[in-house]
């Protein structure tokens, strides 16, 4: 595939906040896409620390019910009404959710094996997770599946762990609701290239 086609594929990845619960492919096919995308992502010293929980149906809905319950505890009635509407319309309305985690035991193992780089491994772990998130997001977009990336982490991590029996050493990084694109994203704007890039060709 020429590089231009890859860049074109990347450009299809947008934050979609108007999701529906229809998918162009079966749950099994979507799951395979997500798993394959994560499997191919690089990680420091090939530690493969990225983990994912893929949820559909009632399990997907439960994630966002947990989010709403957590938000209700920390917001005013007025704030909660707006938050509830956002969660219902933008996330719960979708067909599924990917929960992205990093395996802290794997990271600690690297710190022990390579003490010279001990301080770097948690940072590199975040890099690996970001790459996995981007890969999944872009892969879903190729099939016309919309998604966005959310970070309710500390508000919901304990409740998600209990609800879905998530291992204690998995650390929650992000949540990605996905589904049919009911309304496309607005046109993307870009800053000037000369403020963003430097090219030196001696």
Describe the crossing of helices 27-39 and 121-142 by its angle, rounded to 10 degrees.
Answer: 140
Residue 1, pLDDT score: 79
Residue-wise pLDDT tens digits, 35-49? 999 999 999 999 999
Which helix (H) or strand (E) element contains residue 174? strand 170-181
The CA-CA-CA angle for residues 143, 35, 154, to 5°, reads 100
So where are the chain's domains? 15-183
Q: Is the pTM of this model over 0.85?
A: yes
For range 53-66, the mean pLDDT: 99
Residue 159, token pair as written in the block: 């409740």
Distance CA 131, CA 138 (A): 10
Q: Are 180 and 145 in contact (CB under 8 A)?
A: yes
Distance CA 176, CA 34 (A): 11
Q: Are 132 and 52 in contact (CB under 8 A)?
A: yes
Q: CATH fold of 15-183, please?
A: NADH Oxidase (3.40.109)
Residue-wise pLDDT tens digits, 182-199? 999 999 999 999 999 999
Distance CA 31, CA 28 (A): 5
Distance CA 31, CA 21 (A): 15
* β-pairing verdict for 170-181 and 19-20: antiparallel
6 phi, psi to nearest 5 deg: -65, -45
């Amino acid at each position: 595939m020429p590089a231009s086609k890859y860049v074109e594929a990347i450009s299809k990845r947008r934050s979609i906040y108007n999701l529906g619960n229809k998918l162009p492919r079966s749950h099994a096919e979507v799951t395979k896409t997500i798993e394959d995308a994560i499997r191919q992502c690089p990680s420091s010293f090939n530690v493969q620390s990225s983990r994912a929980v893929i949820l559909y149906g009632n399990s997907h809905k439960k994630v966002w019910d947990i989010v709403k319950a957590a938000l209700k505890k920390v917001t005013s009635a007025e704030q909660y009404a707006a938050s509830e509407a956002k969660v219902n319309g933008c996330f719960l309305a979708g067909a599924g959710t990917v929960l992205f985690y990093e395996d802290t035991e794997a990271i600690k193992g690297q710190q022990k094996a390579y003490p010279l780089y001990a301080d770097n491994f948690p940072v590199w772990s975040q890099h690996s997770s970001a790459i996995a998130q981007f890969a999944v997001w872009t892969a879903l977009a190729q099939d016309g599946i919309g998604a966005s990336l959310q970070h309710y982490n500390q508000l919901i991590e304990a409740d998600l762990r209990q609800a879905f029996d998530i291992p204690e050493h998995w650390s929650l990084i992000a949540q990605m609701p996905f589904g049919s694109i009911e309304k496309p994203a607005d046109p993307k704007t870009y800053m000037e290239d000369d403020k963003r890039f430097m090219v030196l060709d001696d």
